[in-house]
Amino acid sequence: RSVILYETEEIKEKALKAREKAQEKYSAPIVTIIEPLDRFYMAESYPQDYYRHNANQGYCMAVISPKVAKLKEKFSKKVKQ
């Protein structure tokens, strides 16, 4: 299940509106939870940019690369290279 964590009421409102707009396109309910960010912990550095540093690993090649390619194809004008 996905979640959107917000820090401000402005972000909360944007998230709610985005979920409503997306819901118009789907018959099944969008189950993304929208709730306040309670606390945040910075992750360790080694998993940061994992795909960029491990693109030739099996999981990246089999799972992530096709998704990245699809994203770039579908949103080519919006994706930074």
What span, in angstroms and rounded, lies between the C-alpha atoms of 21 and 10?
17
Give residue 81's pLDDT band: very low, low, confident or very high (50, 70, 90): low
Q: How far is CA 14 from CA 59, 69, 73, 78, in A?
A: 34, 28, 26, 19
Per-residue pLDDT reduced to its tens digit, 44-68: 998 899 999 999 999 999 999 999 9
Per-residue pLDDT reduced to its tens digit, 1-30: 899 999 999 999 999 999 999 999 999 999
What span, in angstroms and rounded, lies between the C-alpha atoms of 25 and 48?
33
Give the residue-averaged pLDDT of 20-45.
95
What span, in angstroms and rounded, lies between the C-alpha atoms of 57 and 60?
5
- Residue 78 confidence (pLDDT): 82
